Amino acid sequence: MAKGQKLDLYKEHKAEYVTPKTPALVEVAAAKYLTIEGQGEPGSEAFEAKLAGLYSVAFTIKMTRKFAGKGDYKVCSLEGLWWTGRKGTDFAKAPRAKWRWKLMIRVPEFITEGDLEDAKQALLAKKKPPQFTEVELETLEEGLCVQVLHVGPFAEEGKTIRTMHDFAKEQGLSFHGLHHEIYLSDPRRVPPERLRTILRHPVKRQ
């Protein structure tokens, strides 16, 4: 990467972030993420607090490295894994209070546990709300996935997810692992009918 150029992971891995209008198969390599887990209604006070903690860590790591002359990179969009108490079940059919989620922000491979710890210490010194202490650094390995772009409200994803199931079955595949969403739009700035969300789910041969 040229000096002064900002690393964009979505451009670096553009084949993994395709936005097909109908379900397609995508091979997804292992990727490193900052993550934080929780349960309950999306948009609830607890959800928003953990989301804020995740972003605090993500931007603290980015800016610390940038000011130290270690290069710059674009902070990725928010992503999320969704399930209920029994992984593999259709979380959308369960009451929202029982939804479990893992909010995630992809980071470059060179980000380390040391970077994470330094960010937490910096936020602790600033006396930020404590949710940032729950952020972890982990690698997600999904492999072969069914992927599609959903345009519209989150509440209407069910129909799109069913097309993913149908496509997988036609290909002799079945879902495994967790439902994965990649949020290309900010719901605070984009009306529900125009929200763009990549839906992804790992699959395996039946």
Contacts of 26 (CB under 8 A, 6+ apart): 15, 16, 18, 144, 145, 146, 147, 200
Which pLDDT score is estimated for 88? Answer: 54
What is the residue-level pLDDT of the chain in tens, covering all 206 positions? 445 679 999 999 999 999 999 999 999 999 999 999 999 999 899 999 999 999 999 999 999 999 999 989 999 999 999 998 765 556 777 788 889 999 999 999 999 999 999 999 999 999 999 999 999 999 999 999 999 999 999 999 999 999 999 999 999 999 999 999 999 999 889 999 999 999 999 999 87
End-to-end CA distance of the chain: 41
CATH class of 9-205: alpha beta
Residue 177 tokens read as: 């692992």
User: Residue 11 — φ and ψ, nearest 5°?
Assistant: -75, -35
Report d(CA 144, CA 35) in Å as an integer: 22
* The pLDDT of residue 89: 57
Which residue in this structure is represented by tokens 């800016």? 63
Quote the DSSP letter at residue 55: H
Name residues whose C-beta falls within 8 Å of residue 104's C-beta, 6 or more positions apart in sequence. Answer: 33, 34, 35, 54, 78, 79, 80, 81, 140
The residue among 176, 174, 177 whose CA lies nearest residue 165 is: 174
Quote the pLDDT of residue 206.
Answer: 76
Question: Residues 143, 27: contact at Cβ < 8 Å?
Answer: yes
pLDDT at 86: 64
198: tokens are: 């990549």
pTM of the model: 0.93
Contacts made by residues 135-138, CB under 8 angstroms, sequence distance 24+: 135/34, 135/35, 135/36, 135/53, 135/54, 135/57, 136/34, 136/35, 136/36, 137/32, 137/33, 137/34, 137/35, 137/107, 137/111, 137/112, 137/113, 138/32, 138/33, 138/35
What's the confidence (pLDDT) of residue 95? 81
How many whole angstroms separate alpha carbon 203 and alpha carbon 197?
19
Residue 91's pLDDT is 76
CA 132/CA 166 separation, integer angstroms: 39
Query: Which residue type is seen at 149?
Result: L
- Domain boundaries along the sequence of the chain: 9-205
What pLDDT shows up at residue 69?
92
